[in-house]
Amino acid sequence: MLKQNLILRNPLRQLGYEDDDIIPVGGFGAVLARAGVGKTALLVQFALNTMLRGRRVLHVSLQDPVAKVDLWYRELFRHLAVQYQVGQIRTLWEEILPLRFIMTFKVEGFSAPRLRERLHDLMAQNIFRPDTIILDGLVFDDASPSVLADLKSMSEDLSLRTWFTVHVHRQVQADADGIPKPLLPADDLFDMAMLLVTEGNEMHIRDLKSGRTPSLHPVLILDPATMLIKENVAVAS
């Protein structure tokens, strides 16, 4: 009951998506923002919701050690439970924790074949088989389209949903549809892209690829104190 309560309160539903996963099996999603704005926090919230629904998440970090990634999950889960006044936090946390596996790489040592190899080892030994991958810290540059094409093939072969963080600069250029330049070379591979922008003292989450009209296309707000999406707070884009 506690778990179901958190699932039903998923604030991402305010964007109008009937499927909590947002992206399809084999699909790609991206969260774009400047450094330190909240990309990882937002994806950890996606991951926690996935875990609460009984699905497994592989969190791949190219920047932070395991202990730091684990702290993100613990802190955001604690804030989530407090916000929705959910008791028995420890029991629920221990229930969903086996559904998460953290894997780290150095940026220069990362490649799609290496990730596939390590993932195959986990699955072959029945240690962990993910439903969703969070890939945090991949550098989007001239070489990224070929890396992303390999990761896309892996996601489709293994029926995974894959989310990426994408770093953008303050004055980054965008195309006519508002897609920031770092994502443009591989834009066709992505089913979803969300941009985090600072508006005064707030952080707004803009859905860049839904194709919805503005009246049906709300902007969610990220609370800078807890890094959680504010419930029942959205503004028109």
Task: Give mean pLDDT, residues 130-145.
Answer: 88
Contact predicate 189/150, CB 8 Å: no
Condensed to tens digits (0 to 9), the pLDDT of residues 150-187 reads 999 999 999 999 999 988 875 554 444 455 656 656 77
- Reference 45, options 18, 13, 16; nearest CA is 13
Q: Which residue is associated with the tokens 């999950």?
A: 73
Least confident piece of the model among 3-17, 52-66, 139-153: 3-17
- For residue 146, the enclosing domain spans 2-236
Query: pTM score, two decimals?
Result: 0.86
Residue 200 pLDDT greater than 80, yes or no: no
Residue 115 pLDDT greater than 50, yes or no: yes
Report the mean per-residue pLDDT for the chain: 81
Assign residue 138 the CATH number of its domain: 3.40.50.300
Task: Give mean pLDDT, residues 203-213.
Answer: 67
Angle at 98 between CA 148 and CA 2, to 5 degrees: 110
| Total domains present in the chain | 1
**Measured between alpha carbons, how far is 157 from 77 in angstroms, rounded to an integer?**
31
Q: List, as one string, the DSSP characters of 87-118.
A: S-HHHHHHHHGGGEEEEE--GGG--HHHHHHH
Higher pLDDT, 188 or 72: 72
Least confident piece of the model among 127-131, 135-139, 181-185, 210-214: 210-214
Q: Give pLDDT, residue 185.
A: 64
